[in-house]
């Protein structure tokens, strides 16, 4: 991977970093010699293995465990990350999930609240918590990981998840506008269903919707590293 010297020693928090795209991003930013805080929830074994893999000069990335579907957890993760890293330069809101697939008639308050708390409220709370830490550093970057489901509605039974991701897309737009005045930046990286999630092809779920594989996580990590670099220059 090409070295991006602007990222060296930057303090980076990645939520949902234990597996899949989050773990790939951790490897990408570690390769740029960033200082990392990796959030995880249920995949403790994978998170600890990743931290060991990314250890440098005897120092491992900080691991922070939290259930981001619980209100208040996201702010705590950001503040803890800033504390252990001595500040914060980049926040990557990657954690999310659809909970379970249900037809629209079977969606209840419990599922709706879980999906929106995890995918939307946590992103907003983490963003709000990161701003004062960025201001102390004189700048900062937020990257929100969205989904193609937020654009085309996703597969069958994903009504709540897809609308939550659409909310993330528009939340990112408004965050970027508001933070531009503070010389901070926010960007969106939308992912499609693909091999990185172990999902079946779209066409197996929804007839007639064209499917394209997302890049493997190795491809996603390069794109997001470039986004962070461009944001840093602004």
Is 161 tagged catalytic? Answer: yes
Q: What are phi and psi of 223, to 5 degrees?
A: -65, -45
d(CA 110, CA 90) in angstroms, rounded, equals 32
Burial label, 75 (beta-carbon count in 10 A; 0-12, 13-18, 19+): middle
What's the Cα-to-Cα distance from 145 to each of 52, 70, 133, 142, 168, rounded to whole Å? 25, 19, 21, 10, 8
| Residue among 116, 161, 202, 213 flagged as catalytic | 161
Q: Pairing relation of β-strands 11-14 and 35-40? A: parallel
d(CA 79, CA 175) in angstroms, rounded, equals 19
C-alpha dihedral sign at 186, 88, 64, 76: negative
Question: SS3 for 30?
Answer: helix
Give the length of the chain.
234
Burial label, 212 (beta-carbon count in 10 A; 0-12, 13-18, 19+): exposed
d(CA 21, CA 28) in angstroms, rounded, equals 10
Helices H / strands E in the chain, number of each: 9, 6
| Residues designated catalytic | 161
């Amino acid at each position: 991977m090409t070295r991006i010297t602007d990222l060296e020693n930057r303090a980076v928090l990645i939520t949902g970093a234990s597996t899949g795209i989050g773990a790939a991003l951790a490897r990408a930013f570690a390769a740029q010699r960033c200082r990392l805080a990796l959030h995880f929830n249920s995949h403790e074994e994978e998170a600890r293995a990743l931290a060991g893999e990314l250890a440098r000069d005897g120092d491992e990335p900080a691991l922070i465990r939290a259930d981001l579907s619980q209100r208040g957890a996201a702010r705590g993760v950001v503040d803890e990350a800033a504390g252990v890293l001595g500040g914060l330069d980049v926040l990557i809101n990657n954690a999310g999930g659809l909970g379970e697939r249900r037809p629209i008639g079977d969606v209840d308050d419990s599922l709706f609240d879980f999906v929106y708390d995890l995918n939307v409220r946590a992103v907003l709370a983490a963003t709000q918590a990161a701003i004062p830490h960025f201001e102390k550093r004189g700048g900062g970057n937020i990257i929100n990981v969205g989904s193609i489901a937020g654009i085309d509605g996703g597969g069958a039974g994903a009504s709540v998840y897809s609308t939550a991701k659409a909310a993330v897309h528009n939340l990112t737009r408004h965050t970027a506008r508001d933070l531009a005045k503070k010389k901070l930046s926010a960007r969106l990286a939308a992912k499609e269903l693909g091999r990185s999630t172990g999902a079946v092809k779209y066409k197996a779920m929804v007839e007639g919707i064209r499917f394209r594989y997302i890049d493997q996580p190795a491809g996603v990590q390069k794109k997001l590293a470039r986004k962070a670099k461009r944001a840093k220059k602004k």
